[in-house]
Structure 1
Amino acid sequence: MSTPSADELMRRKKLDVGPETVSNQASTDFPGHWPGENNEWDLDYFKETFKVDFHSHTPNDTSFSLISLDTSVANAFRRILLAEIPTLAIEEVFIYQNTSIIQDEVLAHRLGLIPLCGSHSGLNWMKWYAKPTDDNEGSGNPSDYNTVVLRLDVECKWQEGGLQRAVAGETDPDKLYVNHNVYAKDLKWEPLGKQSEMFPPGEEIRSTNPDILIVKMRPGQSVSLSMYAVKGIGQDHAKFSPVATASYRLMPTIDILKPIVGADAKKFARCFPRGVIKLDSVTSEDVEQHAELESKEGESKAVVDNAMNDTVSRECLRHPEFKDKVKLGRIRDHFIFRIESTGQWNSDQLFLESVKLLRVKCQRIKRGLDEMMK
């Protein structure tokens, strides 16, 4: 069994980005396995090489890297984040009165897309709601453990003296009307059974963003309706997805093969997003290493500062003065994740939940294989 050199391992990891094409993107029939080499799975080796680096974190936005991982596993995390972590969303709307200008169907659709949040333990306590069918009419009965009830009762009226101000030429609706804007904060949760216990104050069912505008009204118009929110996953409908987006990209690489100095260095830096390329001064050590820098000591030279911020636009490859001076690429096993939560879960918790779900899937497959072997 042969052992590849460090240069060969790095070559395998890199995708080469050219002006019009991408090369070295093909994989072997079995990813990570090469003829004549021992590529058997080694848990200790995986523990040594696998890394998770967090770059930025806020409750609703997280960026981190997964390093030395196969594409199939990284993509499994992404798909689980999008489609398999359960959340609450409005499933049914019962409209008693709607005299606004928005049609009933459009109003119900807008309500269904409002992200809701509440206690995580309460969400785990809730069971799945199965809609009744012709075969099992009794299985879809709403109850406190599978359905959350919300109400919306709003009527637009004139403010005191608002009509007179309107006649006088006032046009500001905030000075003329009451309840002319209906927001997500106007949704009122009506706890049933044990729900008040499972969703205590501070973790009650509510909109993640209270300022989502639902409808605009004028005096004499009103909306009265009730809603059923149920537990679901994004695989059933996008409204249940806990993320605004969950994506990853490969780590960019920028290799400066020959020194880029002077005015070319400034132009080279402008070819990339801010912070990717910085300008340093040519030193005596640089002159010793590169004969073409003689008499240029002290001039500006282009240096890679933070390749992760690069969007790989290939702009630098379009300029002839940089021909054969720079090489762009991407590392195929370095995944930069970006998770934007809709608010039900914190963004870092979402990734941990995706890990748990992938583990459950693996255990399910393992049990199935064990049954097949019996």
Structure 2
Amino acid sequence: MQSDIYNPRRHVGVHAEYISDVSNRDFPGHYPDEDNSWNLDLFRKKLHVKVNELSQRSIQFDLVGVDASIANAFRRILIAEVPTIAIEHVYVWNNTSVIQDEVLAHRIGLVPLNVDPSYFEFKPDAQDQATDRNTLVFKLDVTCTRKPKTAIVRGTKKAEPEPEEIYNHSIVTSGDLTWEPQGEQSEVFASKPPRPTNENIVLAKLRPGQEISMELHAIKGVGKEHAKWSPVATATYRLLPLVVLNPEKPVPPQYAEKFRKCFSPGVIDIDPVTKAVSVNEKNLRNESMNREVFRHKEFEGCVELKRVRDFFIFNVESEGTYAPEKLLPESIKVLRQKIATIRSAAERLLAEIEGEPAVQGDVEMADA
């Protein structure tokens, strides 16, 4: 826990009926004799990123020392602007299943693919030529047939057999998608062939005589165009909860256990001898901030609930295209590209203003 976590200027007040101190006042001129102008060295000193939990598909990390607008920008970029590869064009040669062509195509398009998007270019238009640099080709050819008759014995009672026991390919899953290399793709992806991140996603169910035959084209895209290109299942953040005890009005010992039950497990500790309560800072992030403590008059004035405005706890779940620990760096790349675009446009605009002869009404604009 940071040493200045209890600095009141970093706090958002959580009260029984409202939230206070929502806006940040750390800007130039607000505090007398204090310089809050932008300073890169000071920003680096305050910025912290710490990974708390990491698994194969999810990550929880702390992002500390940035404004809410920056944290929210990362969240939105993770959801909508980090590129991935997804199936966009479906060519149906035969589909005799009970699922309509367009419904089945939509289900297949939502299957996440384990493909590195950096190897591909964006395909600007659907009518553009498909190449091995902008398109992946998959095939789906499945026919349901009946298995040879075999004796199915289940204890002493005769039971209805499961479809998987008497039919071949009664269930079509994402694992039935077959990659068809094009051009140099067989060499580029020799060590890691493109495939679905989860091969057990059910796409359709068939019965003898039914078949599905399709050619599928996957291209590069972003989540703001369609959710199937989003690299994350969830990307959320919350502010660090803070429980501040009032030393001038301690919790009555006889109500210590009741006070502890007002908070999430592990947040409040009780001294076994004196029955004095204390806050376990290691478990603060588990607090749900349900404000239950405000419902009891005996605790009035004993505690304050707050959140730290620049301490963001991120929870991100990857769809499998990117390793969880690579998602934030990828969002930073996108944000840097957006900033570079804005900077380039501003420089061109300034050059145009300075290059043109300024008229009387444009003098102030040219000076700016």
The TM-score normalised by the length of structure 2 is 0.86
Give CA deviations for 1:212-239 in whole Å, capped at 9, x if unaligned: 1111222222211111110001111111
Distance 1:184 1:130 in 2: 27
Q: Secondary structure of 2:258's partner?
A: helix
Distance 1:151 1:263 in 2: 70
From 106, 119, 142, the counterpart of 2:130 = 142
Give CA deviations for 1:127-150 in whole Å, capped at 9, x if unaligned: 111224xxxx6xx11121111111
Give CA deviations for 1:56-75 in whole Å, capped at 9, x if unaligned: 11131111111111111111
The one-letter code of the counterpart of 2:134 is: N
The one-letter code of the counterpart of 1:151 is: K
From 139, 152, 155, the counterpart of 2:140 = 152
From 206, 219, 227, the counterpart of 1:217 = 206
Going from structure 1 to structure 2, the CA distance change for 1:161 and 1:70 (only over 3 Å counts) comes to same
From 350, 361, 364, the counterpart of 1:373 = 350
Alignment length (residue pairs) = 340
Q: Does the aligned pair in 2 maintain the 1:247–1:339 contact within 8 Å? A: yes
4+ residue runs over 6 A deviation? 163-166
Displacement of 1:341 in angstroms is 0.5
Displacement of 1:372 in angstroms is 2.8
Q: Does the aligned pair in 1 maintain the 2:112–2:320 contact within 8 Å? A: yes
Give CA deviations for 1:290-349 in whole Å, capped at 9, x if unaligned: xxxxxxxx1434322211111211122222222211110101111111111000001110
Distance 1:348 1:146 in 2: 26
Matches within 5 A, 1:325-344: 325-344=302-321
Runs of at least 5 residues in structure 2 that lack an aligned partner in the other structure: 352-368
From 166, 181, 205, the counterpart of 1:176 = 166
The answer as to 2:261 corresponding to 1:270 is yes
Look up the match of 1:315: 292
The one-letter code of the counterpart of 1:211 is: N
Look up the match of 2:183: 193
Look up the match of 2:322: 345
Q: What RMSD over aligned residues (CA atoms) do the two structures have, in Å?
A: 2.4
Look up the match of 2:196: 207
Look up the match of 1:288: none
Displacement of 1:18 in angstroms is 0.8
Look up the match of 1:14: 11
Look up the match of 1:34: 30
Distance 2:151 2:144 in 1: 13
Q: Which deviates more, 324-333 or 364-373? A: 364-373
The answer as to 2:61 corresponding to 1:61 is no
The answer as to 2:86 corresponding to 1:124 is no
Displacement of 1:267 in angstroms is 2.4
Look up the match of 2:80: 83
Q: Secondary structure of 2:22's partner?
A: coil
Q: Does the aligned pair in 2 maintain the 1:82–1:243 contact within 8 Å? A: yes
Displacement of 1:260 in angstroms is 3.0
Look up the match of 1:294: none
Distance 1:196 1:16 in 2: 58
Distance 1:280 1:162 in 2: 69
The one-letter code of the counterpart of 2:230 is: S
Displacement of 1:186 in angstroms is 0.8
The TM-score normalised by the length of structure 1 is 0.84
Q: Which deviates more, 259-268 or 147-156? A: 259-268
Q: Secondary structure of 2:124's partner?
A: coil
Matches within 5 A, 1:265-304: 265-281=256-272, 298-304=273-279
Displacement of 1:163 in angstroms is 9.6
Q: Does the aligned pair in 2 maintain the 1:162–1:177 contact within 8 Å? A: no
Distance 1:279 1:365 in 2: 55
The one-letter code of the counterpart of 1:239 is: K
The one-letter code of the counterpart of 2:333 is: K
Distance 1:343 1:373 in 2: 43
Q: Does the aligned pair in 2 maintain the 1:59–1:348 contact within 8 Å? A: no
Distance 2:159 2:20 in 1: 67
Distance 1:112 1:31 in 2: 47
Look up the match of 2:363: none
Q: Does the aligned pair in 2 maintain the 1:261–1:302 contact within 8 Å? A: no
Give CA deviations for 1:135-184 in whole Å, capped at 9, x if unaligned: xx6xx111211111111111122221159989x64332232222111111
Distance 2:29 2:103 in 1: 53
Q: Does the aligned pair in 1 maintain the 2:152–2:161 contact within 8 Å? A: no
Runs of at least 5 residues in structure 1 that lack an aligned partner in the other structure: 1-5, 282-297
